[in-house]
Amino acid sequence: MKNREEQNMKEILVEQKPRIETFFNYNYDGINKITLTNAKKNPTGVVHIKGYLNDNEDLWIDAGLYDKNGVEIVNSAKEVDENFLKPEYEENIKTVSEIEKEENSNK
């Protein structure tokens, strides 16, 4: 049973990485590498994807799967926002669904 859950978590990492990349590529500058380390289900049943940015483990990230669409927003170390957040998104960071909607309307 444990082996099956580990496999499910690995699949979640692969499935959600493009959404995490979309979030960072749109809202931030200077994020060159996203490393996902694990996915775990917390006691309330929410899966959290953990990792870090630019080969720096101090630039941690935590993406919760609260929505049926997948990752919408990624929490991160305060240094990530301080050093990489695009100025135009300081007050209103975009979710992955908002980004996708905007990109689809531009096609």
Per-residue model confidence as pLDDT tens digits over 12-58 = 999 999 999 999 999 999 999 999 999 999 999 899 999 999 999 99
- DSSP-derived secondary structure letter, 28: B
Instruction: Report residue 77: phi and psi, to 5°.
Output: -60, 145
Q: What digits encode the pLDDT tens for the residues 47-87?
A: 999 999 999 999 999 999 987 889 999 999 999 999 999 99
Residues 30 and 82: their CA atoms lie apart, in Å, by 12
Give the sign of the dihedral formed by CA 33, CA 20, CA 62, CA 41: negative
Query: What pTM did the predictor assign?
Result: 0.91
Q: Quick check: helix, strand or coil at residue 34?
A: strand
